[in-house]
Chains A and B, each alone.
Chain A
């Protein structure tokens, strides 16, 4: 499936690639830093959390070539643990977020060990099955509050100094977390590990014959993806002071697939763009209930039939043509 994903060109272009990435990163950061002046900050924070979630998902799909249909379990589980840690154990926000991230990483190890052995559609199905089990666990377990979720999660003081009840302070902390996660993913992709991962995606048999233990690489990618998705979920729980079943439901797994597909699988900035697009759309269509579902479905269909490279994929291909021509 990643055959259609946007593929970076050979290393001869690596320098141009890196320049483009740097420039795009600067533009992105400038936009985010200035955003609260123009846009309702809570909305941007939501998009940032989902952007991180989508980037983590893209690490597995776009670069690892593995479609997980159960990624919501990491987002949601981390959210519950983080919310519980902040509310019941009284941990300060940074520790609560760490707790949530740790929980999803551990879950990622277990899920990964079970799922990695299979490929393609079987891999997707098994992640779906595991996510459903996590969903039902969250539904039944007393600490999650079932249908009501965990509410009134305190925001507290980040590192004992930054008062998160101030929306602007909270915004920049969330932006910092997003940036850290984003840069980490970038480093992972452009490291030797990332190269091997891409090789496995292209042709696993060949990679094995070259002596790589592909199972271990895939598992590592899975766990990293799970952990970073958890970071997004844990942060989101603190921002919205709520952890609920929505975040572990299978439709959330579908949403992150949509964000990544729309934004551009296998691109660096694609998932962020996709997340913003979908969250914005959700914002405007929220009053029209069913229209949001219909529009989501239409975007899926259009993307699969005619727009497989996604927004950033198409954009980068066009930029490439301009550079070459």
Chain B
């Protein structure tokens, strides 16, 4: 009797393991965690919109029809590296999350990238800016998708100098991200033959920029470069308009500006602002169509490039999962680098060995109120930077994965 039982259980085990060999998807579900800022400075440019973008990607991929079960959860990292890494740890250890996406705020992204590497899962960064994610902090488990500080500095700096803005004054947020942005942009300006007439550092989350703007005015630089983000950027722009900086003949160059910032400021204040983005809803028909679907499900609010990046990344991730038949982080990321990307928003592109997704970048200028014909009709595209020039050359990044080759 016992022998028969043993035989039966052995047979059952064999059958189960055979079945298991086909479905190497952990827990039978591909679980996607959207980790971003849901309640403060970056909530509008990422937030719930990114969750929606991820869900749209799953729908468009046809996961249900292909028999791949998916689940999307989200959490608020509150722009704190400790909260972010704790959530990441909990998600990976105790909740079966396979991939984390979005994560604006460079400090948090770096922390989550490390946790992802330790646990051998996958991390697709759309919201964060630091170019270190594909540079010295690169990882075989992370892909930096939408934009980075190098792209911003290079796109904006280069293009502005070429169109006549050859003397600069920097208004910089006094923290690592601000310094990096200032340093990268300054390098580009000097290389393109421009001059930097001065710079001033302001504490993070400054309410009043009047004294700094005064210094910018006094320098008589043609371009006032804003190496800051979020509330600091919108505040400096608002107050610059009050002090008549643009009317006085100087132009503002925002180094990190999103559609939502322009929306918050209003065209009256933001007109003339020049900056770089890697996607805009009005670029082409497929983007417009996607935006219509997105806005309908997002209370009429239009998507930013961060949302588009989440969509594009999740879509490509699912394709890679289908191809490798597993959700093992390292393997999927490897596959994502092997497969060329193609989606309705960014078109065709590639993911490099250092984890950098590559696509064209666009230099845009904010329209005057009279030039805007509809909701969110804010930008005119001044220049397109081709994909092979938009991002830092792989050899210059100092990524250990690349140097090893």
Q: Which residues from chain A sit less than 8 Å from chain B, CB to CB?
A: 40, 42-43, 46, 139-140, 145-149, 151-152, 240-242, 244, 246-247, 286-290
Contact = CB atoms under 8 A, between A and B. Distances in A.
A272 B199 CA distance: 49
A174 B212 CA distance: 48
A149 B93 contact: no
A244 B107 contact: yes
Contacts of B81: 148-149, 151, 242, 244, 246
B175 A139 contact: yes
Interface of B: 38-40, 43, 74-76, 78, 80-83, 85-87, 89-90, 93-94, 106-107, 110-111, 114, 174-177, 203-204
Contacts of A43: 90
Contacts of A46: 86
Contact of B114 (A40, A146, A152, A289): A152
A246 B111 CA distance: 14
A126 to B, nearest CB: 22
Given A40-B90, A40-B94, A287 B176 contact: no
B204 A139 contact: yes
Nearest to B84: A242
A287 B38 CA distance: 8
Contacts of B85: 240-242
Given A40-B94, A42-B90, A147-B204, A287 B111 contact: no
Contacts of B76: 286-289
Contact of A148 (B75, B93, B110): B110
A244 B110 contact: no
Given A146-B175, A151-B110, A244 B38 contact: no
A152 B116 CA distance: 12
A253 to B, nearest CB: 16
A240 B106 contact: no
B74 A149 contact: no
B95 to A, nearest CB: 10
Output the residue of A42, A139, A247, A286 with the most chain B CB within 10 A: A286
Given A242-B111, A246-B80, A147 B177 contact: yes
Contacts of A286: 75-76, 83, 87
Nearest to A242: B82
A91 B85 CA distance: 23
Output the residue of B78, B93, B107, B177 with the most chain A CB within 10 A: B107
Contacts of B39: 289-290
A244 B176 contact: no
A147 B176 contact: yes
Contacts of A242: 81-82, 85, 111
Contacts of A288: 76
Closest 9 CB pairs of A and B: A289-B39, A148-B107, A147-B175, A289-B76, A146-B175, A246-B80, A289-B38, A146-B176, A244-B81
Nearest to A290: B39
Contacts of B40: 289
A253 B163 CA distance: 50
Nearest to B111: A151
B111 to A, nearest CB: 5
Output the residue of A40, A147, A152, A289 with the most chain B CB within 10 A: A147
Contacts of B86: 42, 46, 240
Contacts of A290: 39
A287 B106 contact: no
Output the residue of A40, A43, A148, A286 with the most chain B CB within 10 A: A148
A42 B90 CA distance: 8
Given A151-B110, A244-B107, A145 B176 contact: yes
B75 A244 contact: no
A148 B114 contact: no
Contacts of A246: 80-83
B306 to A, nearest CB: 18
A80 B313 CA distance: 35
8 contacts: A46-B86, A140-B174, A146-B175, A146-B176, A242-B111, A244-B107, A246-B82, A287-B75
